Amino acid sequence: EAGVTQFPSHSVIEKGQTVTLRCDPISGHDNLYWYRRVMGKEIKFLLHFVKESKQDESGMPNNRFLAERTGGTYSTLKVQPAELEDSGVYFCASSQDEYRDITEAFFGQGTRLTVV
Amino acid sequence: AQKITQTQPGMFVQEKEAVTLDCTYDTSDPSYGLFWYKQPSSGEMIFLIYQGSYDQQNATEGRYSLNFQKARKSANLVISASQLGDSAMYFCAMREESYNTDKLIFGTGTRLQVFP
Percent over 90 (pLDDT), chain A: 75
- pLDDT band of residue A22 (cuts 50, 70, 90) is very high
Tell me the per-residue pLDDT of A69-93, one tens digit each, with 9 for 90 and over: 988 899 999 999 999 999 999 999 9
Nearest to B73 by CA among B116, B34, B15, B108: B34
Torsion angle defined by CA atoms of residues B7, B104, A88 and B10, in that order, rounded to the nearest 10 degrees: 20
pLDDT of residue B81: 96
pLDDT of residue A41: 84
B29-34: average pLDDT: 88
Strand partners, A65: A79
Q: Is the pLDDT of residue A102 over 70?
A: no
Chain B residue with minimum CA distance to A40: B108
- pLDDT band of residue A97 (cuts 50, 70, 90) is low
Within the 72-91 window of chain B, which residues sit less than 8 Å (CB to CB) from chain A? 91
Positive or negative: CA dihedral A89, A93, A99, A104:
negative
pLDDT of residue B111: 97
Q: What are phi and psi of A90, to 5 degrees?
A: -105, 120
Which of B52, B101, B108 is nearest residue A55 as measured by Cβ atoms?
A: B101
- Determine whether A37 is exposed, middle or buried from the number of CB atoms within 10 Å of its CB (0-12, 13-18, 19+): buried
B100 touches chain A (CB under 8 A): yes
User: How many CB atoms within 10 Å of residue B10?
Assistant: 10
Q: Is the pLDDT of residue B1 over 80?
A: no
φ/ψ region of B73 (left if φ > 0, alpha if ψ in -120 to 50, else beta) reads left
- Determine whether A68 is exposed, middle or buried from the number of CB atoms within 10 Å of its CB (0-12, 13-18, 19+): middle
B108 touches chain A (CB under 8 A): yes
φ/ψ region of A88 (left if φ > 0, alpha if ψ in -120 to 50, else beta) reads left
pLDDT of residue B50: 92
pLDDT of residue A25: 95
Tell me the per-residue pLDDT of B42-95, one tens digit each, with 9 for 90 and over: 888 899 999 998 888 999 999 999 999 999 999 999 999 999 999 999 999 998
| Higher pLDDT among residues A39 and A99, named by residue | A39
Nearest to A3 by CA among A109, A79, A82, A98: A109
Outline where DSSP puts E strands in B1-116. Answer: 3-5, 10-14, 19-21, 24-26, 33-39, 46-52, 60-61, 64-69, 74-79, 88-98, 101-106, 110-115
| Contacting residues of A for B43, CB less than 8 Å apart | 9, 89, 109-110, 112
| Contacting residues of B for A40, CB less than 8 Å apart | 108
* Contact at CB, A35 and B4, closer than 8 angstroms: no
Q: Cα separation of A33 and A105, whole Å? A: 9
B10 touches chain A (CB under 8 A): no
A32-49: average pLDDT: 91
- pLDDT band of residue B99 (cuts 50, 70, 90) is low
Shortest alpha-carbon distance between residue B80 and chain A (Å): 23
- pLDDT band of residue A40 (cuts 50, 70, 90) is confident
